[in-house]
Amino acid sequence: MNDRICTCGKWHTFHHLCSHVLAWCAEITQFVNDYYTVQSYRLAYDNSFRPLPDKLEWTDYTGPKVEADSSRWKLGHGR
């Protein structure tokens, strides 16, 4: 399977999975982390997302303000 070749030859010839490989893939799901299951995917998006209100309804920002220290700016050649 690591060489992407099945003894039926369809995988190598047609470059798509044959029924044998699909059956094998179904068996190896026991080695795949539950995080990648469809159930986990659905749980991730189970909660609804609230859209942001209109910008006019936003409250003013009262947190700290960050400013660049202009004394540390370096003028040089760009990339």
* Interacting residues with Zn ion (CB under 5 A): 6, 8, 18, 20
Least distance between Zn ion and beta carbon 6 (Å): 3
Q: What angle do CA 6, 12, 17 make, to 5 degrees?
A: 70
Whichever of 24 and 41 has its CB closer to Zn ion, that residue is: 24
Whichever of 8 and 43 has its CB closer to Zn ion, that residue is: 8
Least distance between Zn ion and beta carbon 27 (Å): 14
Least distance between Zn ion and beta carbon 7 (Å): 6
